[in-house]
Structure 1
């Protein structure tokens, strides 16, 4: 006769399982408690963002949209362009200049995408501007504002104002009369830890000008929230610059009745803006392209509202690795009055720094890629957003 084993539960086994679950719970609670205690005593001090800014909600409705910009796109200079942050076009030479994380400013020929190592600044070039005589102006995160002549000679124009050195020279533009306007994103932090400036929630940014004829640097506006990309208007009467964590672009008047004043050019953007580019060549026929580093998210909403969340994020940034929540990066297009016209983005795309239209193509710079993304806008245009819903 075949014996059978009892299938009734083993009391000892159940006790061991219960003890294991209890120990795991205690370990998790203790780990979280210790982590929170470490964060609490960390010296990073996050501030509250202005309540009137927290009340604003981003506008996601755009007349025309392309939500899959990587579909049909090309990788220009793949493997040769490390972190191509900004892009500027020289129509006379038929090349674009781009600023790379290895210190190189590289030239890319549009006709065949051939990449040339042009000049290495020895720092980290970010914003670029083409001068009136073929020179290139550079906002270098570590070196300040540079001038590079056509034959590659580098001159440091300015790296401090009012006795305060630039912490993160970010973007630069130049007027027809040769005056440079540029941003220092934060005088407190450097490029390697600049995200802490956004987590801190205090305005350390500055807007400045530099006059080559007098070699004088002026602070035009201070107490800005991470002052980022900058562009001159087609009529040369104002400059537009971005305040990244505020998700807006401001307008500073450089001449006319409003000279010296600031107002909002466009507010409640869909995400965090970086560089801004004008695609026209004359008076009034062009548009502005604003790079969106990442779309506004619910988690960023909470972080802006509660300083302690940003303190936790800063702690993770300094000692471990904070979770990545960036998504839907790309570029938006606005008209000369600051009204939304089009949006180009991709759900998996992050850390886009520049969007610029050259001919029939959109070129996207990015902090993390080793190439520039190029999309033919004739073949892959933005379509009415009602058709995508």
Structure 2
């Protein structure tokens, strides 16, 4: 009898009481995730391309190992042959890439004092930076001058300035991923499932900032079309990229039901866009996107330092000008690829996790027809 009593008491303390405490904490927590749009939960094979390389790490080379602290975006200056990238320590760095990655040279160029994300080149050699904390910056005079262009629109400050593109008339188009959460809290925006993102423009002549689209789901990468009539922007949690037509001020879907969650998108000058996906669609992510209760549990765990959102199978998707998938380069053993950009015969990838740039030779390690 004493043993039976002990077993029952142990059961109460080890299971029932923790369960009741968990319910109480869940009810008291104010984090309130929403249901995502129904089309965000669709999983279609239409975005799977005919050509696939599912071993991206095989043959990959690494540039600036230990010298580039989480280089999120990559911009290539064809005139100088330099790569510009923004790091988590605030540095915008310049990289001279050589045939051998070991001979590459990494230069500390400008420190924004924030977290530089998206990069683009202005019309007069300046570098435009979407800094997550600072806003939209203009770095000119070979790095000697840094100017804040804009950090708010319609009375609402940017909280996570993310990506930027430049049109031929000098107007800048950029995203604020979330007006509610900053860079350090970005996972909570993803988990909350509410549209806090905006697509905006800045005219350097009139110094005017316009909100073009609001209520976007974590507005992320943005890229200008080659004919300058529209831009393509990504919404990460709903796995969709859309076109925004500048003159008509209208939106249409470019590609949706992506095989991963899109980050930056880059046009390669050769008829293709490259969409980086930090993670593929895992079983846990499927459950999280479908059930807000699971996203709340995940957010509560994150507050205590536990990560339940396990990323895997990052990659880069190549699509044509109409959004038709061409090739996918990915690997289950890699995560947090945030940019894919084609430079010559190489694919260069930035990362939110790793302290280096990944490079893959297309001809030596091509994508093949999937079986």
Tell me if TM exceeds 0.5: yes
Compute the displacement of 1:33 (Å): 3.0
Q: CA deviation at 1:186?
A: 0.5
Selected match of 2:254 from 256, 261, 265? 265
Is 1:210 equivalent to 2:202 in the alignment?
Answer: yes
Q: Report the CA distance shift for 1:331/1:27 in structure 2 as closer, same or farther (over 3 A).
A: same
Tell me, yes or no, if structure 1 residue 185 matches structure 2 residue 177: yes
Question: Which residue of structure 1 aligns with residue 369 of structure 2?
Answer: 384
Whether the 8 Å CA contact 1:330–1:364 is kept in 2: the answer is: no
CA apart distance, 1:54: 2.6
Equivalence for 2:343? 358
1:67-92 Cα deviation digits (max 9, x unpaired): 11111111100000001000000011
Q: Does the 8 Å CA contact 2:120/2:127 hold for their aligned counterparts?
A: yes
User: Which stretch of the first structure deviates more once superposed, 114-123 or 142-151?
Assistant: 142-151
Q: Secondary structure of the residue that 1:36 maps to in structure 2?
A: helix
Given the alignment, which residue of 76, 84, 87 partners 1:100? 87
- Look up the match of 1:167: 159
Which residue number corresponds to residue 54 of structure 2? 67
Q: 1:29-44, aligned counterparts within 5 Å?
A: 29-44=16-31
2:131 aligned residue (118, 140, 144): 140
Q: 2:318 aligned with 1:327, yes or no? A: no
CA distance in 2, matches of 1:224, 1:97: 28
Query: Aligned in 2, Cα 1:58/1:312: closer, same or farther, shift over 3 Å?
Result: farther
User: Shift in Å at residue 108 of structure 1?
Assistant: 0.4
Structure 1: unaligned runs, 5 residues or longer: 1-11
Write out aligned runs for 1:255-294 (5 A).
255=247, 259-280=248-269, 285-294=270-279
Contact (CA 8 Å) 1:328, 1:345: kept in 2 or not?
Answer: yes
CA distance in 1, matches of 2:49, 2:16: 45
Quick one: distance in 2 between partners of 1:274 and 1:251? 15
Gaps of 5+ in 2: none
Q: TM-score, normalised by structure 1?
A: 0.90
The answer to whether the 8 Å contact 2:302/2:308 transfers is: no
Note if 1:114 corresponds to 2:105.
Answer: yes
2:205 matches 1:249: no
Q: Distance in 1 between matches of 2:47 and 2:332?
A: 14
Structure-2 change in CA distance of 1:32 and 1:59 (3 Å)? farther
Distance in 2 between the 1:75 and 1:219 partners? 39
Task: Tell me the secondary structure at the aligned position of residue 246 of structure 1.
Answer: coil
Partner Cα distance (1:351, 1:211) in 2: 32
- CA distance in 1 between counterparts of 2:342 and 2:288 reads 33
Question: Number of matched residues?
Answer: 366
Q: Could you say which structure has the larger radius of gyration?
A: 1
Q: How far, CA to CA, are the matches of 1:197 and 1:324 in structure 2?
A: 13
Kept after mapping to 2: 8 A contact 1:59/1:270: no
SS of 2:365's equivalent in the other structure is coil
